[in-house]
Amino acid sequence: MIRRKKLVKRTSRSDKVCPFCGVPFALTETRDRSLYDWYINKSIAWKSVREWALQRAGYKCEECGCDFSLQVHHKTYSRLGKEHPDDLIVLCQVCHELEHE
């Protein structure tokens, strides 16, 4: 006899699991920033996504058009690690700082 797992719809953040370590977010809230920092600074996946976003933008800021001090900004963090193209925008450092104000 094959037993099937009952599908449970997750509705709260505390039920969601960290994509990096597999631990429920309720137990990792204090570590969320360090996980983000690891992803941005050390992940090969992010380097690939970042390069793709830069190519898509023609290596120019999508706000002002300058071509130096470029950064890739997340519009949302809901798909961190599995970013959709619409989740990212290329900005120069000045426009990125204005975005966070």
pTM over 0.75: no
pLDDT at position 16, please?
A: 66
- Strand segments, DSSP code E, in the chain are 70-74, 88-92
Higher pLDDT, 16 or 5: 16
Tokens 């960290």 label which residue? 18
- Compute how many other C-beta atoms are within 10 angstroms of the C-beta atom of residue 61: 21
Residues 13-69: tens digit of each pLDDT? 445 665 655 555 554 455 567 888 888 888 899 999 999 999 999 999 999 999 999
Q: Which two tokens stand for residue 94?
A: 């000045």
pLDDT > 60? residue 11: no
Q: Which two tokens stand for residue 101?
A: 């104000």
List 67's β-bridge partners, or say none. none
Higher pLDDT, 56 or 82: 56
